Amino acid sequence: MELGGWGVLIAVLGGAARVSVPYLFVSLGETLTERSGRVNLGLEGTLVLGAMSGYGVAYLSGSPWLGVLVAGSAGALLGLVHGLVCSLPRVNDVAVGIALFLLGTGLAFYLGKPFIQPTAPRLPHLELGAWSASPAVRAALEINALFIAGALLAPLLAWALFNTRWGLVLRTAGDNADAARALGYSVSAIRTASTTAGGFLAGVGGSFLSLYYPGTWNEGLSSGQGLMAIALVIFARWHPVHCFWVSLLFGGATALGPALQSIGITGHYYLLNAAPYVLTLILLILSSSPRQVLVGAPSELTISR
């Protein structure tokens, strides 16, 4: 059955649900980190290290979920390093992020060499499209378990950030470090904990890349999704639920190139693949302002000042 233009639409929607997962997890993690007043630009490295370690462990243990857990832990470890190094006086968190981007990628490539060939078990998914005879529809409606987890996590995080004591303390550290200190909290400890948690989520996002889509480990696996997710947080105004919607938008933009290719529009392949980067840049330009600080931006954040 030929679906033509509808096929593109279905593929983009299905692709959005598939491709958005890494964006979603990284941006949720970065939202936590930035709400506490720090920026971690190293999440691209975290994503790649998560993808490698998750794949390696899933292959060696046979359990994809153990892989997800280890990927998250590896990410948390990188986040912890970032948090601790940035707690030292006079250390710039943006620069440390770039350093960890390099280190995380290097570690993943170094340790991941043996896992390029073998095949690890994949994460499970729900077949919501089983009713349809069209393979395109069925493929589009494959909903992965991590997508569902992320979709549930976004409102949960929003609730926790804005309605719990824990969330209030975290946001106070990000908006006014002196006030947090006056209340008797350690700002460094709060930020280190948020960066560690953010690293955990980014690592989980990485495991999705290697364990589900595209579903194998290789060195070209992530093409900047971790970095784009950081720009996405600005566009989502540091709100977890907005992160969910913006991730879907980015997922759709990323899926556009392959979708058009599947109906035979193969020209401009590389330009179409650049669509999400261009989209990010345009959104960044539109959502930035030369004069005032962005609405919703934590005021202690180095990157928005």
Residues found near another protein in the complex (CB under 8 A): 41, 81, 85, 88-92, 94-96, 98-100, 102-107, 109-110, 113, 223-224, 227-228, 230-231, 234, 267-271, 273-274, 277-278, 280-281, 284-285, 288-291, 303-304
CA distance 48 to 52: 6
Shortest Cβ 297–another protein spacing (Å): 11
Among residues 4 and 290, whose Cβ is nearest to another protein?
A: 290
The CB-of-304 to another protein minimum distance in angstroms stands at 7
**Furthest C-alpha separation in the chain:** 67
DSSP symbols for 227-277: HHHHHHHHHTTT-HHHHHHHHHHHHHHHHHHHHHHHTT--TTHHHHHTHHH
CA distance 216 to 193: 31
Is 117 or 289 the residue whose CB approaches another protein more closely? Answer: 289
Q: How far is the CB of 171 from another protein (least distance, A)?
A: 21
CB of 107 to another protein, least distance (A): 6
CB closer to another protein out of 89 and 184: 89
| Residue 17 three-state SS | helix
**CA–CA separation, 108 vs 280, rounded Å?**
26
Q: Of the candidates 11, 107, 54, which has an alpha carbon nearest to the alpha carbon of residue 217?
A: 54
Structure tokens at 97: 């992020």
Q: Which residues contact 106 (CB under 8 A, 6 or more apart)?
A: none
Residues in the chain: 305
Q: Pick the closer one to another protein by CB: 3 or 274.
A: 274
Q: Which is nearer to another protein, 63 or 223 (CB)?
A: 223
Q: Would you say 12 or 52 has its CB closer to another protein?
A: 52
**Minimal distance in Å, beta carbon 236 to another protein?**
14
Q: Minimum CB separation from another protein for residue 109, in Å?
A: 3
